[in-house]
A and B are shown apart, each in its own frame.
Chain A
Amino acid sequence: MGIEQIIFYLFSGILLVAAVSVVTVRNPVYAALFLILAFFSSSAIWIMLEAEFLGVTLILVYVGAVMVLFLFVIMMLDINIDIMREGFIRYLPVGLVIAVIVAVEMIYVLTADSLNIVMPAAKAADYSNTKELGGVLYTDYVYPFEIAAVILVVAIIAAIVLTHRKRLPNVKSQKPSQQVRVKRDDRVRLVKMEAESKPNASTRGGQ
């Protein structure tokens, strides 16, 4: 067993344990943390498949952005764990049946003759997965890629429109752009006063 295989089994093992723990641990924050661990391990496996761009992007997008928001929401909500777990045993048989079906399907597909692909030879060290992906995305698949981009933009705008509701009248809010532009003259007024003719001796300390 080469060192590559040892690393592969190590990360696969961690991935499986983490994935199972996501479902079984009691504390939802721990579940989110295990999900992060699962993302990490699968990213390591992708990197072993010489798909380093996808592997790093997985961490960047899912762990760095999505999971932060996930954790955020979980921590804000005071989730009652007992109520959450009430249906666990009741739905377990259904879940098991679905799990077995999915497993059988996957085994069937992976062992099918039509999918009997020979393992491609390892690429040279200077092979850039990023360049390859970019080349394919912007030539052969440029329309699907751009359509996906448009859909994302629509989703972003929709999310902003949905949350940007009109506030009640008479609600006071701060306008930072005006606050930033404030000059000294808007706030400070210097008043010139005549010096008093006879200064009070008691206030003139020292000298």
Chain B
Amino acid sequence: MDSLISIWNTVPEALQTLIVILLKIVAIVLPLILAVAYTTYAERKIIGYMQVRLGPNRVGPKGWLQPIADTVKLMFKEIILPEKANRFTFYLAPVIALAPALVAWAVVPFSSGLWLADINVGLLFILAITSLDVFGIILAGWASNSKYAILSAMRAGAQVVSYEIAMGFALVGVLMAAGSLNLREIVEAQAGGLSHWFAWPLFGLMLVYFISGVAETNRAPFDVAEGESEIVAGFHVEYSGMAFALFFLGEYANMLLISAVASILFLGGWLSPFESLHALTQLPYIGLLFDNGIHWFFLKVAFFIFLYLWFRATFPRYRYDQIMRLGWKILIPVTLVYIFAEGVAIYLGWKPWLS
């Protein structure tokens, strides 16, 4: 051990920082990819039970190895390049679809002290990076040189750009309540137990944020960009093998990201609901469970992910014009009124949240 430390000390300082950052990135991305794989398993299992069937149950005990088998299958499949496709853009699109979904995790605070970067404009950074996802879809639609793909790209582009506005307004509400764009400070502003979370004063904005989040990630019931009954599979109709898998990974990583951000903004991130009950947090051993910690963050993310899957099993697909109507004529006016009301509440000093 001592020899290892002495070797480490001989490394120049700039390189040390670089190595530490790289290790942190690996420590975030690897579990993230694993979480994505098992989100697909959870999705199939949960929707299976909701529809009174078993879901995947053949590979490994209770089907636990199903995602691994799927990955192996996708990796060995051939990637077919359509003859008249634009080669460079065709291969670039899935990379652009996945990369922002991973990059945005750089500013997500997992627990107190557990993050890659603690930047002043964390909230804005997440909004900016997630707005890049649409390029993957648009480029894939155009590069495939297929009418279904380009139709889907048009739908997805219009949908994502419209819902970004409602999402941005929902974030403005949180920013006003917390007085900061820094995600860590937003969580700390909600300290003090269940009743201090922003979910209560900003409940409407939480609904708007999550609905916009579902639309942003092109998930059911807003999955018209895929719409298999109308445009076969939308923008990824020409993709196969790993190129398709990257889109898939990106979609699920984005779902996890939207869930993580929603739990940070509205449900207090890593804060425990029992934080102020010292009788519970002071208990030996199990007190740790009731205290703040990363497990609460994971629990909240899992809750939002479950909502995603629940929506998918419950709602029929929205018609395209109704999606646009919901975004522009309902969600945006609602957020505008909400922000105004919130401004009044802050002016009046509405304790304990808006003071």
Q: CB within 8 Å of B: which residues of A?
A: 3, 29, 33, 36, 52-53, 56-57, 59-60, 63-65, 67-69, 71-72, 75, 128-130, 174, 176-177, 179-180
Contacts and interface: CB of A to CB of B under 8 A. Distances in A.
Contacts of B319: 176
Which of B86, B129, B132, B154 is the most central at the interface, judged by chain A CB atoms within 10 Å of its CB? B132
Interface of B: 14, 86, 89, 119-121, 124-125, 127-129, 131-132, 134-135, 138-139, 141-142, 150, 153-154, 157, 160-161, 164, 181, 319, 321-322, 325
B219 to A, nearest CB: 20
25 contacts: A33-B89, A52-B119, A53-B120, A53-B121, A57-B124, A59-B131, A60-B128, A60-B131, A64-B127, A64-B128, A64-B131, A64-B134, A64-B164, A65-B161, A65-B164, A68-B138, A68-B161, A71-B138, A72-B138, A72-B154, A72-B157, A75-B141, A75-B142, A75-B153, A176-B319
B124 A60 contact: yes
Nearest to B119: A52
B92 to A, nearest CB: 8
A54 to B, nearest CB: 10
- B contact patch SS: helix
Contacts of B141: 75
- A contact patch SS: helix
A75 B150 contact: yes
A60 B127 CA distance: 7
Given A52-B120, A65-B164, A176 B322 contact: yes
A56 B161 contact: no
A56 B128 CA distance: 7
A174 B164 CA distance: 25
A69 B134 CA distance: 11
